Each structure stands twice: as structure tokens, then as C-alpha cells.
Structure 1
Amino acid sequence: MSFAFIEAEKASLPISRMCQTLGVSQSGFFAWRERPACQRQRQDMVYLAHIRTAFALSNGTYGSPRMHRDLIDDGHRIGRHRTVRLMRENGLVARQKRRFKRTTDSQHVWPVAPNLIA
């Protein structure tokens, strides 16, 4: 977590000062930067690409339960909480359906038209 912060802020502050403040070694930071992504991170990136595609196709209406079901239907083996975490970390929030606004006013003062058919 500290290394990710240092990577994000390296343009504004010196790396050596941030490492000293956070209590980590510079060599540890540079080793972390050169280390390849682990299997879980690579799989998360694959799932995230599918989630973003499905989210865009749904016009932002798919929440995590529906997104999880969609991924399972597509043949991906992913847990419900992993789907929730990936969506939350990337700011993918489903739009809420708006309440239907009634426009008919039945309590008006005008007379009701007579029933000419019956």
C-alpha cells in the first residue's frame, strides 16, 4: 500500500523523502516496481475488462449482482465479492431507477365528461 502511494505521488515529492517518512526502504520500493504482477492481479485485469464492457453495454444500469450473474453466464469463474470489490475500486456504480412521476390530477374542479358510449 505504501509503495502504491509513493508511485502515485512521485511526481510531486522526492521518492527518498517519502520512503523515509513511510518507513520503507528505497530498494524495496524499486524492487516492488520491477516485480511482475501476480496471477490474481492479472486475472483481476481480465475480469475488469469484461466488467467495464458489460457496464458500458448496459448503459451503467448493471449493479454487482446482475454483473456477477452476467459474468457467470459468460463462463467466467468469479465470486460475488470479487465482482463487488472490482466495481467499487473502479467507481462503477449502477444508476438508480427513477420513480415514475404521476401527471394525472384526478382531484380537479372541472366536470367529468359524460359516458356517451354506455
Structure 2
Amino acid sequence: MKYVFIEKHQAEFSIKAMCRVLRVARSGWYTWCQRRTRISTRQQFRQHCDSVVLAAFTRSKQRYGAPRLTDELRAQGYPFNVKTVAASLRRQGLRAKA
């Protein structure tokens, strides 16, 4: 919350002064700024997994659920777990047709 305030008002006041008034370390502010722009490894993996699962899901005409998609992806060389594929389907709001 304090970092968001600093971000909104950095054009009006110096970062040093705002950090002092809000009792926040300047190093914490700069670390927060760097962390916001960088994508974590987990997020990168999830994006990759989501794109692969979506492609397999559309190839199966939206009929395969997580277990069958996992088998198909493993045959293609992707070492995904059933729970990983199920979580990806949930994140994307995808459900197999009945």
C-alpha cells in the first residue's frame, strides 16, 4: 500500500522523502519496483503450460478432460502431471464437453 502511494506520487515528491515519511526503506521500494516488472519462473511455467494445454484441448475438439489431455501431452513429450493440467484448465475456465 505504501509502495503504491510512492509510485503514484513520485512525480510530485522525491522518493527519498516519501520513504522517510512513510518509514519504508528505499532499498525495499526499489526491490518492489524490480519485482513488479519481472515475471517469476512459476508464472513463466504456468503461461507455457496454459498455452500447451489450450492447444491440446482445442485439438481434441474440447472433449478431453485432464486425464486424457495428460496422456496426450506425455505422448508429445511434455512431462505434466494430471493435477497440473487440471489446474491449467481451471485457470482458463475450460471444461470438456459432455
- Please point out which of 41, 47, 62 is paired with 1:45: 47
- Match runs of 1:102-117 below 5 Å: none
Identity across the alignment (%): 22
Letter in 2 for 1:85: A
Q: Does 1:87 align with 2:89?
A: yes
Deviation at 1:62, TM superposition (A): 1.0
TM-score by length of 1: 0.54
Structure 1 residue runs without a partner (length 5+) = 1-18, 97-118
Decide which structure has greater helix share. 2
- Match runs of 1:44-83 below 5 Å: 44-83=46-85
Deviation at 1:59, TM superposition (A): 1.2
Which structure's relative contact order is higher, taking Cα pairs within 8 Å and 6+ residues apart?
2
Deviation at 1:71, TM superposition (A): 1.1
- Moved beyond 3 Å, runs of 4+: none
Count of equivalent residues: 72
Distance (Å, rounded) in 2 between the aligned partners of 1:70 and 1:45: 19
Letter in 1 for 2:51: A
TM-score by length of 2: 0.63
Letter in 1 for 2:83: H
Q: CA RMSD in A?
A: 1.9
Deviation at 1:95, TM superposition (A): 0.5
Deviation string 1:33-63 (CA, Å, 9 cap, x unpaired) is: 32x1111211221121111111111111011
Letter in 2 for 1:54: A
